[in-house]
C-alpha cells in the first residue's frame, strides 16, 4: 500500500545536493536549510562557480561543485565527488534550469535540445541515479522543481512548458514508485516568483492587465513552503497558493492562460538556474528607455 505522506525529519539533517544553487531559489533554499537544520551538509552544484563558492563560504559545512549537468555521462562521477565530500546523499533538489522566451518557430534543433537537456533530461537522470542509492538505503528525499507552466500553456514558452510538463509527470510517477521504499518525492510547482530574473523574463512579453494583476511570490516564501512540505512528507508544493486552482483544474487554467497570457515581443534568454550552454543567438527586440542590459547567465528562479 502506498503511503501518501512520509515524514523524513531524520534525513533532512544529512547531505543535501542542490542544483542551480548560486542565486535565486537555489541560494534561498541553501540558506533556509542552514537555518532549519544547522548540522546539514550541503553540496552546491552550479555552472556559475564564483557565486557558488562564495555561498559555500557563507554557509559553512558546504562545498561548491562547478559542472555542466547536460553532460549526462559525467553525472555518475559528479555523484561520486559529492559522496566523497559529504557522504551518502539524503536530499536531492533538482532546481537547475533555463527559460528561453520566444515563439516556438524561432527555436532551432540545437536550442531546443539545450533547453530540454538541462530542464528535463538532467533532473531525470540525477533522480534515477540518486533514487537507486536511496532505495538501497531505505531513506531519502528527492525534490523536483517543475512549474505551473507545465500545467497550462504560457505563450512564448512552448519548449520550456514541454520540459516542465515532462519533469512534473516524471516526478509525480517517481513518488508512486519510491514512496513504498521509504523515499519521499516532492514536486514543486512555482508560479511567478519575484526576482531579477522574473523581471527580465517579462521583457520578452508584452505588459497586459492580466500580467500586472497576477499574483507573484518570493524566493524566500517558496523555500519556506518547500521545507515545510518536506518535514511533513507532502507530495507537492504549489506557490503562490492562489495558483492551486490552476493545478486542480488544468483545463480551466489552460483556457485562462491561452486567452489572457501576454503575447511575446522579444526573444529573451533567461537562465532560471544553471546555464552551461550558449544557445544560438536570436535577435532581441529593441528595448524602451530605462530598461537595463540583458543578463544571460544567471541562476535560479522559476517564473511560471
Q: Can you tell me whether residue 66 is helix, strand or coil?
A: strand
- Calpha distance 220→144 (Å, rounded): 17
The whole-chain average pLDDT of the chain stands at 82
Query: pLDDT (tens digit, 9 = 90+) per residue, 265-282?
Result: 655 554 545 444 444 333
Q: What is the pLDDT of residue 48?
A: 92
- What confidence score (pLDDT) does residue 196 get? 57
Angle at which helices 49-59 and 24-36 pack, to 10 degrees?
20
Of the ranges 161-165, 231-235, 254-258, which one carries the lowest mean pLDDT score?
A: 254-258
pLDDT in tens, 169-179: 999 999 999 99
Please compute Rg for the chain using Cα positions.
Answer: 18
Question: Is residue 230 within 8 Å of residue 184, measured between CB atoms?
Answer: yes
Name every residue whose Cβ is closer than 8 Å to that of residue 59 and which is 6 or more positions away in sequence.
Answer: 30, 31, 34, 42
Residue 299 pLDDT exceeds 50: no
Q: Give the confidence band of 103 by pLDDT, cuts at 50, 70, 90.
A: confident
* CA–CA gap between residue 177 and residue 281 (Å, rounded): 41
- Residues with Cβ within 8 Å of 169's Cβ and at least 6 positions away in sequence, in order, are none
Cell of 42: 550541503
The domain limits of the chain are 11-270
What is the structure's pLDDT at 145?
97
Model's pTM, two decimal places?
Answer: 0.82
pLDDT of residue 208: 57
Pairing of strands 99-101, 140-145: unpaired
pLDDT above 70 for 260:
no
What is the predicted pLDDT for the residue at 296? 33
Whether the CB-CB separation of 237 and 189 falls below 8 Å is answered with yes
Compute φ and ψ for 179, nearest 5 degrees.
-60, -40
Q: How far apart are CA 46 and CA 298, in angstroms?
A: 10
Q: The dihedral of CA 164, 166, 167, 168: what is its sign? A: positive
Sort 66 into a burial class: Cβ within 10 Å, 0-12 / 13-18 / 19+. middle
Give the model's pLDDT for residue 211.
Answer: 55
- What is the model's pLDDT at position 2? 47
How many residues in total does the chain contain?
304
Mean pLDDT of 252-273: 59
Weakest mean pLDDT among 97-111, 112-126, 136-150, 158-172: 97-111
Residue 301 clears pLDDT 90, i.e. is over it: no
190-246 pLDDT per residue, tens: 988 876 555 555 555 555 545 566 678 899 999 999 999 999 999 999 999 877 777
CATH no., domain 11-270? 3.40.50.720
Amino acid at each position: 500500500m502506498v503511503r501518501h505522506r512520509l515524514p523524513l525529519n531524520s534525513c533532512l539533517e544529512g547531505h543535501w545536493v542542490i542544483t542551480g544553487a548560486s542565486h535565486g531559489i537555489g541560494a534561498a533554499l541553501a540558506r533556509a536549510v542552514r537555518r532549519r537544520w544547522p548540522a546539514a551538509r550541503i553540496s552546491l552544484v552550479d555552472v556559475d562557480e564564483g557565486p557558488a563558492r562564495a555561498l559555500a563560504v557563507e554557509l559553512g559545512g558546504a562545498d561548491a561543485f562547478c559542472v555542466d549537468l547536460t553532460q549526462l555521462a559525467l553525472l555518475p562521477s559528479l555523484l561520486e565527488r559529492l559522496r566523497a565530500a559529504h557522504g551518502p546523499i539524503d536530499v536531492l533538489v533538482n532546481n537547475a534550469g533555463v527559460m528561453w522566451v520566444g515563439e516556438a518557430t524561432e527555436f532551432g534543433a540545437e536550442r531546443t535540445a539545450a533547453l530540454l537537456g538541462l530542464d528535463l533530461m538532467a533532473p531525470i537522470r540525477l533522480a534515477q541515479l540518486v533514487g537507486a542509492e536511496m532505495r538501497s538505503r531505505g531513506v531519502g528525499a528527492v525534490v523536483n522543481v517543475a512549474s505551473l507552466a507545465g500545467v497550462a500553456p504560457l505563450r512564448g514558452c512552448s519548449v520550456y512548458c514541454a520540459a516542465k510538463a515532462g519533469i512534473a509527470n516524471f516526478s509525480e510517477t517517481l513518488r508512486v514508485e519510491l514512496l513504498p521504499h521509504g523515499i519521499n518525492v516532492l514536486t514543486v510547482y512555482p508560479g511567478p516568483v519575484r526576482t531579477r530574473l522574473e523581471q527580465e523574463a517579462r521583457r520578452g512579453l508584452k505588459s497586459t492587465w492580466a500580467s500586472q494583476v497576477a499574483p507573484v511570490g518570493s524566493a524566500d516564501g517558496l523555500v519556506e513552503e518547500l521545507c515545510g512540505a518536506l518535514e511533513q512528507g507532502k507530495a507537492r508544493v504549489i506557490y503562490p497558493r492562489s495558483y492551486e486552482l490552476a493545478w486542480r483544474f488544468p483545463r480551466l487554467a489552460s483556457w485562462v492562460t491561452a486567452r489572457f497570457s501576454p503575447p511575446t515581443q522579444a526573444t529573451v534568454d533567461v537562465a532560471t538556474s544553471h546555464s552551461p550552454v550558449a544557445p544560438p543567438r536570436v535577435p532581441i527586440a529593441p528595448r524602451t528607455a530605462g530598461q537595463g542590459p540583458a543578463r544571460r547567465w544567471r541562476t535560479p528562479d522559476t517564473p511560471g
